[in-house]
Structure 1
Amino acid sequence: MDKLKKVILGIVLLISSYGMVGMPIHPDDYINLVNKKSYKADVIIYGGTSSAVIAAVQVKKMGKSVILVSPDKHLGGLSSSGLGYTDTGNKAVIGGLSREFYHRIYKYYTQDKSWKWQERDDYGNQGQGTPAIDGENRTMWIFEPHIAEQVFEDLIKEYGIILHREELLDRQNGVEIDHEKIKSFTTLSGSTYKAKVFIDGTYEGDLMAAAGINYHIGRESNETYNEEWNGVQKDIFHHKHNFMDYKISPYKDPKNPLSGLVQGVSEVGPGENGTGDKKVQAYNFRLCLTQVKENLIPFYKPDRYNKNDYELLARLYEAGWNETFNKFDPIPNLKTDTNNHGPFSTDYIGANYEYPDASYERRAEIIKDHENYQQGLLYFMVTDERIPAPIQKEFKKWGYAKDEFEDNNYWPHQIYVREARRMLGKYVMTEHDILGHRKVPKPIGMGSYTMDSHNVQRYITAEGYVQNEGDIGIKAKEPYQIAYGAITPKENECTNLLVPLALSSSHIAFGSIRMEPVFMILGQSAATAAVLAIKEGQPVQEINYENLKNELKKGGQVLSK
């Protein structure tokens, strides 16, 4: 009977879609029409990030229906994919469901079973300048990837959130717009999602872009928003992620410029300081490593490996550089959150410029290139004769954690998309907001982290040496407010979409806002605004701010110092 129903349904759909004019019908068209599914909720959230999950929880807490449509299999984005050494800034301004996440992390680590490879009392408890475990406030800021993912899964289960995994938005033709409102979006599987309000919970801003909303990629010039720290920043070295005075040749034959450039060096100059470009700060994977033999997978050779890709690192060692283990930050159970550090490290500089606007297929290629580069780097460290013997001996003690990312060859699920598209919304956050130079209208949360940009390009200096450019770190003097207008499009573009991650911000301001605790804060605020827009029958831009502020405070958000 079910088979007969499908046949009848297929005929009806084919007639309604094609008419009776004898148009040729491909067998795939029949299958797609039969399998099409339509879903409806008050709020539809596209994304599987920490922000997306928190947004879904907030909608449910406020009594509205929600569907979380995740392009990913695993939930939590970077928070559950290696970034366990949390970039917190001032913890006092992390409130609401964001703080609840870190409280739930704390509760997991009060259980003896969570300490498999290390005694709790032996854990160093060192976070970024503060204790990792805050017993007084019952929060924990440093954690293992699988614990974070479990917390997100717990939230989905406890709040009964409908979750559709591995549903990729049809970015070409999948968004239906009517009078500046998104009516629905369709995924590549053929599923359609209808809602009153939508939230783009992706790092890339895919739903925002597919809805035709204007956005920016790359660095604005300093002139654009009258900033100091945007644009090209040649010879500005705020961290130690540059070649300093080592005078490393960029040429294959160090003494012969005609021999060609080694891998990773651009033949194009960096541009004039303060000018804008379309280049994107470097991505990498945050690595979870261990020295516990029973829980260790040795560094393996990647699918594509060429030791010449790491020539600059070999030359650095020969020149005397030795800071190999400076960013092996400890997390519980004798593991690390290993990040980029130094002139040549896990950041794959210059390899991601296409990523923000790229097709899914091209993005997959870029991600695979990063994977090969980073796995190859680790393999190079333990196998190549040019690595100094003491460093190689120590490096061989490390490997991938066997109990993390088990379904992905012990490799993180999510690449660190530090920056992609940024919406040109109703209000643009700039360095003036981060540094407290102007009053922020209608605040919906706070940030406090340094304006932090990783390197953008690697080039040849006028003296003929290799150098990196784009590594900036400007501290916020005190916590700052984030404007509601930064997560809303302009009214003439879309009136029922909120964008808490690919929000409206200059490149350098985004360098502070882009931290995972802040993304969760903004996810909760976006969800609160979405529900109020429904209740008030208003475009998201025109909801009553006093109502929004009151609801945010009720939800534990911190809106002022």
Structure 2
Amino acid sequence: MYNIIVYGATSAGVAAAVQAARLGRKVLLIANTEHIGGMTSSGLGATDINNRRGIGGIAREFYGQVYRHYESAKSWVSQTPETYDRLLGTRFWFGRDEELKIRWMFEPKVATAIYLNMLTEAGVEVIRNERLALGAEDAVEKKDGRIVGIRMESGKVYAADLYIDAGYEGDLMALAGVSYTTGREANSQYGEKTNGVFDNGPLEGGGVSAYHVSGDPDSGLLPYVLPNSPGEKGEADHRVQAYCYRFTLSSDPDNRLPIEKPEGYDPKHHELLARRFAVNPKLTLDDILTLTPIPNRKTDTNHVDFVGANYAYANGHYADRERIEAEHRAFTLGTLWFLANDERVPELVRADMRGWGLAADEFTDNGGFPVQIYVREGRRMVSDYVMTEMSVKQRTAPESVGLGTYYFDSHYVSHYARDGLVHLEGTFWEDDELLYPISYQSIRPKREECTNLLLPVTLSSSHAAYGSIRMEPVYMVLGQSAAIAASLCLELGVTVQDLPYEVLRAKLLEAGQVLDAEPSMWIM
């Protein structure tokens, strides 16, 4: 019997488990794969941390350890820190803060090592490759509104007094009967402006045909192109922003794997990209991929988004998710091969792409490719307080357990055909400086649904607000706050709904969490 079980070894899960163990609780961290650390250690090394003064506690400790790692000359094996600093330039605010002694640009293997060391030092028991028994009636046993045990696919049952679901998918939440939603709410539901269907106009400014044979409707639509717009502006639907893999490329000839055509390569999935080059032959590799430098001649590579291929993921069973993950992997590796080899790609772009390869010293047990797919948005709890567009933009939410820090941002949700051309839909980006509280009420369920569960990742939020909240540093902050709340519930003998906020707030501040946005913090 454990005091606290943390299900999901994401960045939030690691922070929660470490904090609970430091408070003297008997903690179990359950990872559903071999991987520890979620996206932070799976390629997302260019951290979205636009206001670092809003990040406290274990999250700031983690980035401080990254800083100290790269202070050592031994950590720079493929380039000097001076060369790297010149290459990164002012992007991501230089990637470090000399006053706070933190750095937020790092290699995946460095993040993994730091997380594992933190877990070991805290004495956290970690079990890997255990997944909840999705579909089983007894996967989550409840009594009097409390979870009393969770059953794994292996048949093993684990029990605790308090549970934290730190997974990107929210499986424990769903199996426990907690209300949640997927997709996009209508603007009218919460009085928002950027939720729901959001048209973005034609791909590449126009001229990109939506059909297999360009200009021929009888040939059928290209894969994952909808026949019509998903709906009128602001209407609700079941779709969410695109997923991808954040993979690590290397330009070091001694540390890069050759780009090879992947098994399952389907040229139809890259036809839109070919047509973009046909319409705009001046496109460069940087127009297609976001190659953000991380140390040692590597990149955090973003924007190989497989638009439209993820809609069934959040509510899917494991087989559904594994199929979607395999499709995304093939699409990602296929995109690299296409850019390096297809003659429809300008030669300068092909030559540029051939100068890169997957980093040989990353994800060595998976052919240099990351394990964790980037679940930008999955299930979202519906609790007594829903974080909305107004919560974010007006910087108001009750009972703060941490600050959101990122811009208002969603990637594309769908491609659709209009007048025979491909149109884009679903993205929004507002670069207002944001620093706002995230409510404790949004990380705990309604009283009638579950009284001993906390959710720092699949928290109660609209699609619009989640576009800002969904960042790895914030997940770490909320994971730590959830662990402190869980420990206090055990100490006081109360449910997660009855925990006095003034008691929780004092303990959060004591642990170094930043709960309020002060004027002095508006420094980039």
The one-letter code sitting in structure 2 at the alignment partner of 1:324 is L
Cα RMSD for the two superposed structures: 1.3
Partner Cα distance (1:142, 1:263) in 2: 35
Match of 1:355, SS?
coil
Partner Cα distance (1:541, 1:244) in 2: 49
The CA deviation at 1:128 is: 4.4
Match of 1:358 among 316, 326, 336: 316
Match of 1:541 among 497, 507, 510: 497
Match of 1:113, SS?
helix
The CA deviation at 1:144 is: 0.4
The CA deviation string for residues 496-547 of structure 1, in whole angstroms up to 9 with x for no partner, is 0000000000001001100000000000000000001111110001111111
The CA deviation string for residues 122-163 of structure 1, in whole angstroms up to 9 with x for no partner, is 112546441213222110110000000001100111111111
| Distance verdict in 2 for CA 1:360–1:127, change over 3 Å | farther
Match of 1:453 among 393, 407, 410: 410
Contact 1:94 1:517 in 2 (8 A): yes
Instruction: Identify the residue that residue 113 of structure 1 maps to in structure 2.
Output: 74
Instruction: Identify the residue that residue 45 of structure 2 maps to in structure 1.
Output: 84
The answer to whether residue 54 in structure 2 is matched with residue 97 in structure 1 is: no
Partner Cα distance (2:76, 2:442) in 1: 41
| Distance verdict in 2 for CA 1:519–1:128, change over 3 Å | farther
Contact 1:445 1:521 in 2 (8 A): yes
Instruction: Identify the residue that residue 498 of structure 1 maps to in structure 2.
Output: 454
Contact 1:263 1:310 in 2 (8 A): no
- The structure with the largest alpha-carbon Rg is 1
TM-score, L = length of structure 2: 0.95
The CA deviation at 1:476 is: 4.4
The one-letter code sitting in structure 2 at the alignment partner of 1:224 is Q
> How many residues end up aligned between the 2 structures?
510
The answer to whether residue 291 in structure 2 is matched with residue 328 in structure 1 is: yes
Instruction: Identify the residue that residue 520 of structure 2 maps to in structure 1.
Output: none
Instruction: Identify the residue that residue 507 of structure 1 maps to in structure 2.
Output: 463
Instruction: Identify the residue that residue 34 of structure 1 maps to in structure 2.
Output: none
Partner Cα distance (2:390, 2:351) in 1: 48
Instruction: Identify the residue that residue 471 of structure 1 maps to in structure 2.
Output: 427
Contact 1:68 1:161 in 2 (8 A): yes
Contact 2:149 2:160 in 1 (8 A): yes
Structure 1 unaligned regions, length at least 5? 1-39, 237-241, 341-345
The one-letter code sitting in structure 1 at the alignment partner of 2:19 is Q
Instruction: Identify the residue that residue 343 of structure 2 maps to in structure 1.
Output: 385
Contact 1:127 1:141 in 2 (8 A): no
Match of 2:497, SS?
helix
Match of 1:159 among 111, 116, 122: 122
Match of 1:175 among 113, 136, 140: 140
Partner Cα distance (2:317, 2:475) in 1: 24
Match of 1:509, SS?
helix
Instruction: Identify the residue that residue 17 of structure 1 maps to in structure 2.
Output: none
Contact 2:204 2:276 in 1 (8 A): no
Contact 1:455 1:469 in 2 (8 A): yes
Partner Cα distance (1:262, 1:47) in 2: 36
The answer to whether residue 163 in structure 2 is matched with residue 212 in structure 1 is: no
Instruction: Identify the residue that residue 294 of structure 1 maps to in structure 2.
Output: 254
Instruction: Identify the residue that residue 523 of structure 1 maps to in structure 2.
Output: 479
1:175-194 matches, cutoff 5 A: 175-194=140-159
Structure 2 unaligned regions, length at least 5? 518-524
Match of 1:552, SS?
helix
The one-letter code sitting in structure 2 at the alignment partner of 1:227 is E
The CA deviation at 1:477 is: 4.2
The answer to whether residue 239 in structure 2 is matched with residue 279 in structure 1 is: yes
Partner Cα distance (1:134, 1:231) in 2: 37
The one-letter code sitting in structure 1 at the alignment partner of 2:412 is N
Instruction: Identify the residue that residue 97 of structure 2 maps to in structure 1.
Output: 134
The CA deviation at 1:478 is: 3.4
Partner Cα distance (1:217, 1:84) in 2: 27
Of all paired residues, the percent bearing the same amino acid is 42
The CA deviation at 1:405 is: 0.5
Match of 1:356, SS?
coil
TM-score, L = length of structure 1: 0.89
The answer to whether residue 438 in structure 2 is matched with residue 482 in structure 1 is: yes
Partner Cα distance (1:302, 1:210) in 2: 36
